[in-house]
Amino acid sequence: MDYTNICTTVFTPIEYGTVGYSEEAAIEKFGSKNIEVYHKSFIPLEWTLSDARSHSSAFTKVIVDKTKDEKVLGIHYVGPSAGEVLQGYGVAVKKGITYNDLAETVGIHPTCSEEIVRLNIKKSSGEDAGAEGC
């Protein structure tokens, strides 16, 4: 059993879901020079309908190995329905999905999971990871 690639979710008021390596564990195992992180903050559509949540952001990041065609090492997501969002990515990460595979996937609009396949801001670039519009 490969315990690294088991999807995990913490069911708190703002849910957290993950599959694969954390950023810190990936750096420790593969080296910081070999790791890239794509990330983004965004406001989920369902939160825009509530005054209580419309000022909060969700967040997602994908950690890749730059030396292996940007093979995805981990996906992390904080936002609504984290378990549902991450479950579909578990098999993909286990089977060796790459960043390019994600980028070539047409997301279901408008969903939070779509934000994972739309990631294009590299953490190393220093660019703002805040959301653009639809």
**Could you list the active site residues?**
109
Cis peptide before 80 (omega within 30 of 0): no
CA 134/CA 121 separation, integer angstroms: 16
DSSP string, 59-71: EEEEEEEGGGTTE
Q: Residue 76's Cα: distance from chain center in Å? A: 4
Q: How far is CA 51 from CA 17, 68, 78, 119, in A?
A: 24, 44, 19, 27
